[in-house]
Chain A
Amino acid sequence: MSEVLARRDRALTPEETEELLRDRLGEQVGSSVQEYGVFTLWIHPDGWQEAARVLADEPLLAYDFFDSLFGIDAREDGFDVVAVLYSTSTGNRIALRTRCEGGREAPSCPSLTDVYRGANWMEREAYDMFGIEFPGHPSVEPRILTIENFEGWPLRKDFHLASRVAKPWPGVKEPAELDEDGNVIEREVRIGDAPGPYDLDKAMADQARQRNAPAIEEAEQDEDTSPDDPDTPAEVATDADAAAGAAAKAEDRRKAQADARAAKAAERAGADSEPAEDLDQETYDQLIAEGKSERIARSKAKAAFIKKRRAQERAESEGGADSDDGDEGDA
């Protein structure tokens, strides 16, 4: 990598990269696919190391950053290894994917540690989790992510979780779980099931309605029965019912709140109507009569109003100064 030709403005497209790699490696390069926003190239295990070397050393590509490496359980097809490479000079990212040799029993994939030293621990991780051997790796033992004497490969699909054997997973594992014949299992909703967001919304709306409805009705009733109020407590007092007292108190509170709300609404309405008073009505009517739009008429009328008011204020202040003098004279 003595001479780097790769640049952001001259970055090869994924198709050109594939072509270049196919030119170098021939049959080793398989199909390509754009997956999850990353250009993925299938490589035969025999060409795995060579492909990484070309991508790293080719001056036009310069994939100099080893991003990540991980395993995938491909069920009966064995295991896949994916290596993601990044080029700091072009900003391109590419994923290489290969199917390990050896099936499920002894999966193995050539190590990339000779090309990228950073691959070391990532391959160890893939070994820890999937049991994939990496010939050419300095040493994948001892395990680094699990305890050293851990038995089994925890991320394999056939790995049994001891706790799950004792207590099965409560509920459905997948959004649409299939039975033996491939039909979707539809779970009946039972009491105690967590409500979905939509159900929750409905329930909250119902609750709010129930809570507000009596308040509205009572507010209407209060207006009718308020003159009779002095009589009702007398009747209640004979019972000396604490509950009734509490209810009456709650009613009072609700009423006070309703009053406050009404007062606030009136205030707000007042605040809204105030700007309308700033208009100079004559100018406004005149402009409307001329056929101007309401918005323009309003703004011009406002300007006229302010002008008039300023003039008025000026006149007042002069007059006021005179009157002040007069007052002093009186004193």
Chain B
Amino acid sequence: MGLMDQVELPQPVKYVFNWGRKYSLWCFNFGLACCAIEFIAASTSRHDFIRHGVIPFAHGPRQADLLVVSGTLTDKMAPAVKRLYEEMPEPKYVISFGSCSNCGGPYWDSYSVTKGVDQIIPVDVYVPGCPPRPEALLDGIIALQDRIQNESLKDRMADRRKDPITLGADAPLALGSSS
């Protein structure tokens, strides 16, 4: 990335640069359980997140910008997630997809399940649900893209992360009322 982590880009350049980054998110799916099926559904023709510029099935973590952890993360698997995350080049983003990867979900008292992927890697967007609908993933992707558009790459590279986004945290009970 050269000087970008040391110099703040001029505003117009930053705008174009971030615009380019947010619409070419190479996505690496860490599918661990049933949520991975929803992820796959989001990548196929009906929901089709390629129209948002998310490119699924990166060749490996070294070619990926976005890591989607979908499913139950066990302590046994945790080192693998940590390692693959560290193999990804900066700047990198993480979406925690589903209750299990958010907080352990229904396995909150299990002896073998990690209580949330955020215990080992930093998370940018939490998508709640068990499993969430593909639309929820699209919502999370759009929230992440908004953040990428408005962020300063210098801050990001200097590891000054913003607080993670939790979908639905502002209006947790507003699902039923449409008015």
Contact = CB atoms under 8 A, between A and B. Distances in A.
Given A145-B76, A147-B75, A163 B112 contact: no
Interface string B72-97: 00011000000000000000000000
B75 A163 contact: no
Contacts of B75: 146-147, 150
B115 interface: yes
B177 interface: no
A147 B111 contact: no
A154 B109 contact: no
B112 A146 contact: yes
A161 B111 contact: yes
B78 to A, nearest CB: 8
B45 interface: no
Contacts, number: 23
A36 interface: no
Contacts of A161: 109-111
A159 interface: yes
Contacts of A167: 109
B108 interface: yes
Contacts of A145: 76, 112
Contacts of A150: 75
B72 to A, nearest CB: 14
Interface string B98-114: 00000000001111100
A164 B76 contact: no
Interface residues of A, number: 12
Interface in A158-203: 159, 161, 163-164, 167, 169
Nearest to A164: B109
Nearest to A166: B109
A154 B76 contact: no
A140 B112 CA distance: 19
A152 B112 CA distance: 12
Nearest to A153: B111
B76 A159 contact: no
A163 B108 contact: yes
A150 B110 CA distance: 13
B119 to A, nearest CB: 13
A162 to B, nearest CB: 8
A7 to B, nearest CB: 43
Nearest to A159: B111
A171 to B, nearest CB: 13
Contacts of B112: 145-146, 154
A146 B76 contact: yes
A114 B115 CA distance: 40
A147 B109 contact: no
A167 B108 CA distance: 10
Contacts of B76: 145-147
Interface of B: 75-76, 108-112, 115
21 contacts: A145-B76, A145-B112, A146-B75, A146-B76, A146-B111, A146-B112, A147-B75, A147-B76, A150-B75, A152-B111, A154-B111, A154-B112, A159-B111, A161-B110, A161-B111, A163-B108, A163-B109, A163-B110, A163-B115, A164-B109, A169-B109
In the A-B complex, the 7 residue pairs with the smallest Cβ-Cβ separation, listed nearest first, are A163-B109, A154-B111, A147-B75, A161-B109, A164-B109, A147-B76, A163-B108
Interface of A: 145-147, 150, 152, 154, 159, 161, 163-164, 167, 169
Given A154-B112, A163-B108, A163-B110, 20 more contacts: A145-B76, A145-B112, A146-B75, A146-B76, A146-B111, A146-B112, A147-B75, A147-B76, A150-B75, A152-B111, A154-B111, A159-B111, A161-B109, A161-B110, A161-B111, A163-B109, A163-B115, A164-B109, A167-B109, A169-B109
